[in-house]
């Protein structure tokens, strides 16, 4: 399809191919020979002299218009810089050729990090055909059987929405200490939220409830999420302590004080 634009990084194998090394013609030339493109855009972060030798060699292999874009990267595995460079170049070409131009991203040349960026862009901001090539199998469409925007972004946005809700409600970050409190009702959810708010504070807390409703579980969760979590949690059954011995049990006594 002559209305397609091919984007690819210039790889080491491509440079060797231009030097007549025994590596075949390289992935870029393979793609260029396989069909006529409206434009072949080469992103290059090699030495300018080496890339220009390759450009002259490639022009003999294809009738497609070839554009060489020199890119400055701190390293070929830098995801941030690679993403920014690819996004900038693609945007420039869409502005030049119009939004109806078909985009093709070549995964084979250069590093896995660069291939990963092509996949991310093709599945999100710049829908595109993904291709790969090799000496044994030639050029073929790369199968990436998932849709990032459909499979991952909804969950990502959902987590972001939950974070905004938490911040708006003035809640602390989710505490794992409360994960053991199993609940479904809205009332229990409000109780857990209140306990999470209280946990970081140095104030006494009274937890009321019938026997077996989980008062001690709540108390342990509050303790574990509090600044005192490095100190022991002491559970005392007041029902088993005679009234006259409560102070002695809690605060101790001198020898002979009870006689």
- Taking the chain (259 residues) in consecutive chunks of 10 residues, what is each chunk's mean pLDDT? 89 92 89 95 95 95 95 92 96 94 95 93 92 91 71 55 55 64 81 83 87 86 88 86 83 73
Q: What's the chain's length in residues? A: 259
Helix (H) or strand (E) holding 102: strand 102-106
CA torsion sign, 89 to 8 to 107 to 48?
negative
Cα-Cα-Cα-Cα torsion 48, 49, 54, 60, nearest 10 degrees, comes to 110
Q: Has this prediction a pTM greater than 0.75? A: no
61 closest CA partner among 24, 33, 23: 33
**Angle subtended at Cα 92 by Cα 12 and Cα 52, rounded to the nearest 5 degrees:** 30
Q: Which distant-in-sequence residues (6+ apart) come within 8 Å of 119 by Cβ?
A: 105, 107, 130, 144
Provide the pLDDT for residue 124: 85
Q: Find where tokens 């708006």 sit.
A: 168
CA distance 202 to 230: 14
Domains and CATH numbers, the chain: 4-151 (3.40.50.10770), 169-251 (3.40.50.300)
Provide the pLDDT for residue 164: 52
Contact predicate 94/66, CB 8 Å: no
CA distance 104 to 115: 12
The two tokens of residue 159 are: 């987590």
Provide the pLDDT for residue 256: 72
Provide the pLDDT for residue 143: 83
Provide the pLDDT for residue 114: 95
Instruction: Provide the 3-class DSSP secondary structure of residue 3.
Output: coil
């Amino acid at each position: 399809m002559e209305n397609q634009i091919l984007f690819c990084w210039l790889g080491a194998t491509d440079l060797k191919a231009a030097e007549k090394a025994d590596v075949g013609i390289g992935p870029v030339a393979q793609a260029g020979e396989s069909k006529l493109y409206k434009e072949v855009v080469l992103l290059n972060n090699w030495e300018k002299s080496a890339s220009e030798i390759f450009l002259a060699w490639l022009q003999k292999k294809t009738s497609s218009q070839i554009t060489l874009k020199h890119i400055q990267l701190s390293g070929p595995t830098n995801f941030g810089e690679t993403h920014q460079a690819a996004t900038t170049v693609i945007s420039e070409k869409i502005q030049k050729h119009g939004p109806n131009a078909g985009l093709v991203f070549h995964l084979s040349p250069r590093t896995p990090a660069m291939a990963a960026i092509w996949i991310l862009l093709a599945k999100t901001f710049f829908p595109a055909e993904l291709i790969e090539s090799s000496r044994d199998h030639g050029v073929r469409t790369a199968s990436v059987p998932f849709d990032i925007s459909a499979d991952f972004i909804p969950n990502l946005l959902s987590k972001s929405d939950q974070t905004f809700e938490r911040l708006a409600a003035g809640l602390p970050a989710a505490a794992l200490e409360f994960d053991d409190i199993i609940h479904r009702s809205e009332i229990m959810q409000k109780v857990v939220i209140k306990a999470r708010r209280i946990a970081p504070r140095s104030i006494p807390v009274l937890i009321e409830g019938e026997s077996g409703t989980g008062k001690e579980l709540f108390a342990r969760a509050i303790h574990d999420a509090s600044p005192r979590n490095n100190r022991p949690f002491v559970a005392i059954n007041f029902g088993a302590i005679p009234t006259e011995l409560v102070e002695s049990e809690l605060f101790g006594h001198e020898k002979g004080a009870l006689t």
